[in-house]
Structure 1
């Protein structure tokens, strides 16, 4: 049995999307669910980053190393949970676990006079949370909506992420100096706790309004293509094109690490609450630029420049920014480099990078891509974090010299992007010619 929603929100959604009347409640609830997830996560991000300025470069590099291994362990534990727990219990259990963990961090940091160990644990734990909060949400969506509904509804639902990201980064910007950084943990935990009851209602709507009681998410889809579970590593090391993508991501993490560490260090003179506000302002600016660029410019940039120049665009801009930092190492220049790097990656570089996978076969997408996106990315953070610490704490190099090194890495990143873009264009042209001749 299905029911129709006739409220003002329902009428707006029906007028602007292809949502059917019986899908309104589930779609709006899913949109709100994703909005709240991104709201909570983006409240916590500047809280985490503000802590880093209290620690030395080797200490942060150590935390990044710990994060690499804990992330790998967490993914394995999640895989075990997927195999043993019903999905309807797995999702609320996971979000509930993270919510109460943030409550525990809040209580612990408030009760202990020297909370350095707790804060370092929180710093790592946020990165673990970032591995799961969105991927599990989309697994849930695949369990609630049918394959026929997904193409019509998922774009609208996904817009909740953009709005939630922008709103979440704005909360610390205005509240960190008012209520204190620690209390932001409490707000984020309360948001996560608040969405758990909605999960039960969403499962109810799946049956009563969507009529999808027979829809079940396939969390083991990767296994359906068969083959060696370690084939992703084999595919990566045997394929120059895939190695190029891995190098491209490794260079991105290297540049990102250099900019992050330089920003962390230059913010040491500010208080924790001031740093949280600054990081929130940076994140808000990045999100605004990313959203506006993605909506109005990314497609035009890719079409006009081609993929090779598109992949090189942000690396070149970042290289210029880091050269400016090398000449005049002031905070405004470093913040500008961070905004260009992250905002450009979200709106231009990452969509272009994802296009690179469209010319490879299905096994490669399922097996090699996770190796590149997780192992190479997280491993790159670890390696380049220690490289930066070696340059500063080890060799005693200053901000300007390190920025110049970062600019050189960014130029190599740009060259790699040009190489990959040209390889992609040749593969795409060959596929088009083959299709026309057949």
Structure 2
């Protein structure tokens, strides 16, 4: 319960500022995304050895406290910049804030799940990770709704103060969890992980599971970033001011996260308990193949739901992200309970930061290049369907990788009792 509540505040904090970031990319369109993602990738590469040093030398409690406190202070420092957004310019402020929010998302969320993999066993993870993720999805639903309400009342800049408060509450809960777990017999919570600063990079080449996860990250990111770029062009064409774009992206996040929450309490938990986390990787990849194939065939028109025209691209983003957050993420983090502690922190962090942002640079550059060559939505979607098919193959290998520790058996009755 404490883990789910802590993740609720983490995701509330992130989803309050996410529409603020997205309205900046919506202001300039997809042509600036390669610049944004390229800057993020460079920063991630520079931060990888720094994060490895912190993990190697400091205890978990110190790592959590210093990392989260740094991002809280940064949120406060950005308030004056957003009060002068019109003077600074969306492109200039966008590069800086886009980089920072991406680093915030990847490090704060990745560190949270590394911590979860440290305090739960693989059997426990299969039972409870979808419920912990549900807490985060609650924040991901609450955050956009709160952002949509407050942006009309107080504007964009003060939202960062609300985000900082939410992240502070999360930190307090995580420190309490860490202290409680450290008192349990056999806990390593008061010990630094140790090892090399570059272990995350080295393990990518030496551990098959981590290689599969890196490839799966690249393929999954390719689909997500392709959708994000197309929706950014849609926002640029249809919304002319920061408040309208922020409200649009808040609505999009709200629907996505409600769908993801429904997944977590229904299909995901049943699948993880009955069939294991491997299927939680494979099924979303197969759904993406079908979705992108449908976009390639039908194009980018509107779908009429309950008397309202909904852009087909927006629907695709809702479904792909809903599966990514509602099924893939809990399955991935359950698998990380079956690797050594150093891999949970350093290897996992490298895959979910530098590898992820490398994929962003490649995909956004490819989308821009293919558009210059005259590719339309159908051709891009068809290429995305091919990438999703490759992701399905890799997901099958990752979920049953031979270097994973044996999984714990989860009795069906116990899983049902935990649900009750």
Same fold (TM over 0.5): yes
SS in 1 for 2:28: coil
Deviations 1:386-408 (Å, cap 9, x if unpaired)?
2122212x324223322222222
Greater shift, 165-174 or 32-41, is seen at 32-41
Contact 2:57 2:192 (8 Å CA) reproduced: no
Q: Give the drift of 1:329.
A: 0.7
Q: Aligned residue for 1:72?
A: 45
> Residue 130 of structure 1 aligns with which residue?
105
Match runs of 1:4-403 below 5 Å: 34-78=7-51, 94-111=67-84, 113-116=87-90, 117-134=92-109, 160-192=135-167, 217-218=189-190, 220-223=192-195, 230=198, 233-237=201-205, 242-268=210-236, 269-270=238-239, 271-301=241-271, 310-326=280-296, 327-330=298-301, 332-354=311-333, 368-392=347-371, 394-403=372-381
TM-score normalized by structure 2? 0.74
- TM-score w.r.t. the length of structure 1 is 0.71
Retained in 2: the 8 A contact 1:321–1:333? no
Moved more, 314-323 or 93-102: 93-102
Count of residue pairs brought into register by the alignment:
389
Distance 2:301 2:120 in 1: 52
Asked whether the equivalents of residues 291 and 316 of structure 2 are also in contact (C-alpha less than 8 Å), the reply is yes
Q: Name the larger-Rg structure.
A: 1
Structure 1: state its 5+ residue gaps: 1-16, 18-26, 433-438
Q: Deviations over 1:260-284 (max 9, x none)?
A: 1011111112132222222222222
The answer to whether the 8 A contact 2:7-2:132 is kept is: yes
CA distance in 2, matches of 1:427, 1:78: 24
Q: Check 1:38–1:305 CA distance in 2 against 1; reply closer, same or farther (3 A cut).
A: closer
User: In structure 2, how many angstroms separate the alpha carbons of the residues matched to 1:355 and 1:139?
Assistant: 10
Taking the aligned partners of 1:49 and 1:329, their CA distance within structure 2 comes to 21
For residues 397 and 192 of structure 1, do their structure 2 counterparts lie closer, same or farther at Cα, with a shift above 3 Å needed?
same
Q: Which has the higher contact order (CA 8 A, sep 6+)?
A: 2
Segments of 5+ residues of structure 2 without an aligned counterpart are 303-310, 410-420
Instruction: Mark the CA change 1:101 to 1:363 in structure 2 (over 3 Å): closer, same or farther.
Output: closer
Looking at structure 1, the residues matched to 117 and 405 of structure 2 have their Cα atoms a distance apart, in angstroms, of 30
1:411 maps onto 2:389 in alignment: yes
Instruction: Give the distance between the partners of 1:362 and 1:211, measured in 2 at CA.
Output: 18
> What are the Cα deviations for residues 2-55 of structure 1, in whole angstroms up to 9, with x where unaligned?
xxxxxxxxxxxxxxx8xxxxxxxxx5xx87655433322110112111211222
